[in-house]
Amino acid sequence: MTLTPVSAALSGALTGLASGWLSRLALKRVFRSEDKVFYAVFAGGILARLALLACAVWILRRENYIIIVLFSVALILTQTVFEAFPLKHGTKRDT
């Protein structure tokens, strides 16, 4: 598998989009659960995204160094977009 720099960055961004969206979806499902359930899903999401990054780098280990860096940076930045915006806080209350 030979990647160009553009396809490596695009692949990283698409992979980051999928993993970030799945992580956010999992957090939304347990948002109203107990704190320990919510934080367990949060920590599991972090570990899953780290494992995804490690697997992707392992698969790309035969590629040029710049391809791996572009893929990884695009993946991490795209995943971070999902972390930048907080989850909605359920029902709105006047406090």
What is 23-74 written as a DSSP string? HHHHHHHTTTS-HHHHHHHHHHHHHHHHHHHHHHHHHTTTS-HHHHHHHHHH
pLDDT of residue 89: 54
Write down the residue that tokens 């992580």 correspond to. 23
Q: What is the pTM for the complete model shown?
A: 0.77
Predicted confidence at residue 37, as pLDDT, reads 92
Q: Can you give the pLDDT at residue 95?
A: 46
Report mean pLDDT in 10-residue bins for the chain, 95 residues: 82 92 90 90 92 91 86 91 70 46
Angle at 35 between CA 86 and CA 40, to 5 degrees: 85
For the chain, domain boundaries: 5-83
pLDDT of res. 78: 92
